Structure 1
Amino acid sequence: MSSLSPPPARLRRRDLIARIGSAALLGALPARAQQPSQANVAGEPAPRALTAQPAKLRLRPSPAAETEIWAFDGTAPGPALRIKQGETLRLKLENRTAAPLSLHWQGLRGEAAQDGVGGFSQPPVAPGESADIRITPPDAGTILYRPLVLGGSSEPAGRGLSGLLVVEEREPPAVDLDLPLVVSDWLLGDDQAIQPFALQSSASAAAGRLGSWLTVNGKPPPYPVKLTPGARVRLRLANACNARIMRLRFDGTKASVIAVDSQPTEPFEPVHAQLPFAPGTRYDVILDLPQEADASVGITALVGPGLPLLRIVTDGATKPARSQPVALKLNPALPAAVRMQDALRPEFLIEGGGKPTPDRTLDFSGIELAKPWRVNGGTGSKEGKPLFSVKRGTPIVMAIDNRTAFIQPVHVHGHAFRLLHPLDDGWEAYFLDTVQIPEGKKLHIAFIADNPGRWLVSSTVLERFDLGLWGWFEVT
């Protein structure tokens, strides 16, 4: 495996193979429930208001000036919305910004009409307007919500609009603290103002809009937490950056990953205590704090010399030691076996972007900055030809071929997939909805196309998405 792919879980692969056979793969078959229409059902509570509007927030430590941002309910990230598995989330999205908005729920295997891609799955909410949102996630897990509008996602996200939806298990694991951590990237000037957005630029034809400052839950890092020695913490980590791809390192205690991209996994310890962290990626991680007081536990972003993101300090009476974390219950209809030889095998070929030169610069000659990226020879279009169109239940093995000079994080909407090994000798023992494809490499993913509707396969680097690095498929 490439070092940019998530580390393998320490599961006994022979047990999996014994259950499903050498020609089978575990696929994603979410259960479907009929959802009511957008209109309120008589007697149910009114939807919760979620207002996107200008706000001010001190992103850098005092005495730095506050920054004018866009925020949900005055905070960036927006409020951590919490529901129980099987419950319905009802929101009234009020758009008081200057841009059309639509909220994509990354990790939601729900109805296609509620995927939240403005201009594709539903109309965006115009400035000054509002819209009702009603979703019933079939899965427990950590879901990232952020703007996704065809051609118009980079600016509202880069100004601060994002947040987490936490869908709690019916029987969640016992922890002393369940802590959402949203990492955001800001491009700030010396006056702390957000710098102008230029979508058709050399930056968008390269790595994307990389910021000059990271925040954790909207605060300057490291995010401080104080807990008693021996406490158990569940971290819900989400990368809400426009383009910042990084790795995370866990310091001071062992980390146990219990879910990836909203889907449970057999607990595993990250290789070298590190995890890859691309835009849109989410992890649920258990940390057991040291038994002694004044101990320090942290997470460091491996950016430059390293940037501490979280610092937990122990203080107070010691809690008794706990047993190893246990696996979460699998979400509905995960897993199910499929026959690999029956799979449709489409390709998602990514080309374009700046070309590296011998002096370690980028050559943009011959590149149309309005369309610097190509998928299968073209750019994303809802009127264009789909990547594939299949009947519900069809197994898919998709080759994602990255012929660019940049890492390409790719998200499959409405489905969870397995990442196959490059030598086709197995698969990673957890589900994903976002995968990083290293520059110049081809990887394969496999899933069941079981969710009816039209779905995107898209870049999670928002500048690339806005400039057409996406395609779509149809399940009937």
Structure 2
Amino acid sequence: MRNKGKIVALFTALSLFTAACSMPGEMQGMGGKGNQEHNASAIELKGEKPAEAKKSGDTFELMAKKSSLETANGEKWPTWSYNGSSPGPTIRVKEGEMVRVRLKNTLPEPVTIHWHGLPVPNRMDGVPGVTQNSVEPGKTFTYEFKATVPGTYWYHSHQKSADQVERGLYGTVIVDPKKAEKVDRDYTLVLDEWNRPGKKGGHGEMGHGGVMNHHMDYDVFTINGGTYPNVPPIEVNRGDRVKLRLVNAGYQTHHIHVHGHDVKVTHMDGQPVNQPPSFRDQLIPVSPGERYEVELIANNPGNHIVESHDSESAAAGMKVPIRYQGVSRDGVDTAAGQMQLPVLNTARYGKEQRGGFKVDDSFDEEIKADLGEGMDHPNMKMVYTINGKTFDESEPFQVKKGDKVKLRMENTGRQNHPMHLHGHFFQVIRKNGKPVNSMPMKDTLNVRPGESYEIAFEADNPGDWMFHCHDLHHAADGMATLLKYKGYKSFKPDPNAPNEPE
């Protein structure tokens, strides 16, 4: 949905209401209490380990279709999906491999696929009206690109994405490095939030919450489409080196705690962390669109869990057991779930990246992005803005190929804004005016109320690229713009195509 009209400051009552809406997430950002114990009468969904996508010849086949999630008592909740499951199948490829994915749309609406975090050619980025026309019902489109950067990524529709992603149109992409990593077990855990059918969101089907206060409306938090205790466990043998890939496909930050083990974050958004230190009993803040690769050594036999320490009662479902082979399944380590735990400071984690940008570097382009909120009075609804303008009114950022670019983001509003830049990795160089020691590489960065960040990147992938909030309701309500390369021949969309890129 697009928004036009004059943007004005929020009046006091609305500001207070909005602040109240975001309080649970903010409290967790300061180290919140663990979630409530599992209630047997709570909503239970069956989860499955995401299947790996299969090839037909040299091409992966993805079908956008109507499907469902199943409750423990056999009730079917309607969703949309790729290949019949949410998350959809994992596309797993090798670094350097040419990837072909044929999308067939059997849904009643147009769809696309965006390759979140992968630096694909612009024409393959999956943004309708910007890089392609949407794939209409009954039609197909083939995406083709080279998997150049190893790591954990994900894919989702970018057509009416606030609606279509909430219905379940997403899956994961794993690009294995040429030199294989030494891990014994590899698990992908996709985090999401849902509502029962009939509640706000998802047009009467299962989906996320309403536009203004959606974070507090979620009934169910899931891992791989299921809730505890119906999520398949993380099976390990003593001594195993275990990789956990945390992917947030939802619209709310989740603070993840791995019980009973020292862990380290080896990658953020697919990019390696330089010399990551081990830690225990800290919460990993996984914001919308982000991915974290977490490594542990299975050296503490017992029944432990990986869980979300969010304050909402729905978080009781967002946990999965760590189960040692040969160990009794009686009892689960839940004691640490009731502890006040610190949140991992990802801006101070690891050592400075080698060969990257420096705080005092000079830049060819310096861009500002003030992230704000306002009120569309004629339509009586919130709008979210970049530099005071919604997407339809925005002035694209302009760069040239080869430019070294610094982008300063400041959140002047009252809600979190996980900002995602398509087609590029960027380096975080300052937070709140102070140098960031570790300078992590990212493609999505959560900017909380009152925070500012400076990020740096090289303009090395010509095209027209979206820059938007990955709380996709905020993007739908205006918080999006384009990064355009000067001299690039832009895609010419069909004026009659039903393209809705937000």
TM-score normalised by the chain length of structure 1? 0.77
Following superposition, the deviation at residue 202 of structure 1 comes to 10
User: Residues of 2 paired with 1:442 and 1:368: CA distance?
Assistant: 30
Following superposition, the deviation at residue 95 of structure 1 comes to 0.8
- Deviation digits for residues 360-384 of structure 1, max 9, x if unmatched? xxxx794745661222122113x95
- Aligned with 1:345 (options 343, 366, 374): 366
Q: Does the CA-based 8 Å contact 1:175-1:233 persist in structure 2?
A: yes
- Aligned with 1:69 (options 75, 79, 97): 79
Secondary structure class of the residue paired with 1:86: coil
Corresponding residue number in structure 1 for 2:254 = 246
Corresponding residue number in structure 2 for 1:360 = none
Corresponding residue number in structure 1 for 2:292 = 283
User: Residues of 2 paired with 1:3 and 1:264: CA distance?
Assistant: 29
Q: Does the CA-based 8 Å contact 2:283-2:309 persist in structure 1?
A: no
User: Residues of 1 paired with 2:206 and 2:367: CA distance?
Assistant: 33
Corresponding residue number in structure 1 for 2:67 = 55
Following superposition, the deviation at residue 85 of structure 1 comes to 0.3
Matched, 1:204 2:225: no
Q: Does the CA-based 8 Å contact 2:433-2:452 persist in structure 1?
A: no
Q: Does the CA-based 8 Å contact 1:254-1:273 persist in structure 2?
A: no
**Aligned residue type for 2:94:** K
Matched, 1:104 2:125: no
Corresponding residue number in structure 2 for 1:390 = 399
By percentage of residues, which structure has more helix?
2
Matched, 1:147 2:157: yes
User: Residues of 1 paired with 2:220 and 2:235: CA distance?
Assistant: 24
Q: 1:133 to 1:303 in 2, by over 3 A?
A: farther
User: Residues of 1 paired with 2:452 and 2:205: CA distance?
Assistant: 32
Q: 1:369 to 1:52 in 2, by over 3 A?
A: farther
Matches within 5 A, 1:181-200: 181-189=189-197, 196=204
- Aligned with 2:224 (options 198, 217, 232): 217
Matched, 1:158 2:160: no
Q: Aligned-residue CA RMSD in angstroms?
A: 3.2
Q: Does the CA-based 8 Å contact 1:229-1:316 persist in structure 2?
A: no
- Aligned with 1:236 (options 245, 252, 259): 245
Secondary structure class of the residue paired with 2:319: strand
Following superposition, the deviation at residue 291 of structure 1 comes to 4.3
Which 5+ residue runs of structure 1 have no aligned equivalent? 8-43, 318-332, 354-363
User: Residues of 1 paired with 2:380 and 2:214: CA distance?
Assistant: 13
Q: 1:310 to 1:445 in 2, by over 3 A?
A: same
Q: Does the CA-based 8 Å contact 1:205-1:373 persist in structure 2?
A: no
User: Residues of 2 paired with 1:104 and 1:209: CA distance?
Assistant: 28
Secondary structure class of the residue paired with 1:398: strand
Corresponding residue number in structure 1 for 2:282 = 273
User: Residues of 1 paired with 2:161 and 2:198: CA distance?
Assistant: 25
- Deviation digits for residues 242-290 of structure 1, max 9, x if unmatched? x222221221111111110011112234685211111111011112112
**Aligned residue type for 2:383:** P
User: Residues of 2 paired with 1:164 and 1:185: CA distance?
Assistant: 17
User: Residues of 1 paired with 2:270 and 2:177: CA distance?
Assistant: 11
Matches within 5 A, 1:288-303: 288-292=297-301, 294-303=302-311
Matches within 5 A, 1:351-390: 351-353=372-374, 366=377, 368-369=379-380, 372-381=383-392, 385-387=395-397, 389-390=398-399
Q: Does the CA-based 8 Å contact 1:50-1:92 persist in structure 2?
A: yes
- Aligned with 1:95 (options 83, 97, 105): 105
User: Residues of 2 paired with 1:341 and 1:145: CA distance?
Assistant: 34
Secondary structure class of the residue paired with 1:393: coil
Q: 1:378 to 1:198 in 2, by over 3 A?
A: farther
Matches within 5 A, 1:395-414: 395-414=404-423
Following superposition, the deviation at residue 163 of structure 1 comes to 0.4
Q: 1:207 to 1:340 in 2, by over 3 A?
A: farther
Secondary structure class of the residue paired with 1:74: coil
User: Residues of 2 paired with 1:378 and 1:428: CA distance?
Assistant: 33
**Aligned residue type for 1:346:** I
**Aligned residue type for 2:192:** S
TM-score normalised by the chain length of structure 2? 0.73
Following superposition, the deviation at residue 54 of structure 1 comes to 0.7
Following superposition, the deviation at residue 303 of structure 1 comes to 3.6
Secondary structure class of the residue paired with 2:434: coil
Secondary structure class of the residue paired with 1:273: coil
Aligned residues: 405
User: Residues of 1 paired with 2:413 and 2:212: CA distance?
Assistant: 11
Q: Does the CA-based 8 Å contact 2:198-2:206 persist in structure 1?
A: no
Q: 1:443 to 1:337 in 2, by over 3 A?
A: closer
- Deviation digits for residues 109-151 of structure 1, max 9, x if unmatched? 12111111122121111122111111212100111101112xx
Q: Does the CA-based 8 Å contact 2:427-2:440 persist in structure 1?
A: yes
User: Residues of 2 paired with 1:378 and 1:193: CA distance?
Assistant: 25
Q: Does the CA-based 8 Å contact 2:266-2:295 persist in structure 1?
A: yes
**Aligned residue type for 2:365:** L
Which 5+ residue runs of structure 2 have no aligned equivalent? 1-25, 32-55, 328-352, 487-502
- Aligned with 1:177 (options 185, 197, 205): 185
- Deviation digits for residues 9-36 of structure 1, max 9, x if unmatched? xxxxxxxxxxxxxxxxxxxxxxxxxxxx
Give the share of equivalent positions with the same residue, in percent. Answer: 25
Deviates more, 1:297-306 or 1:277-286: 297-306
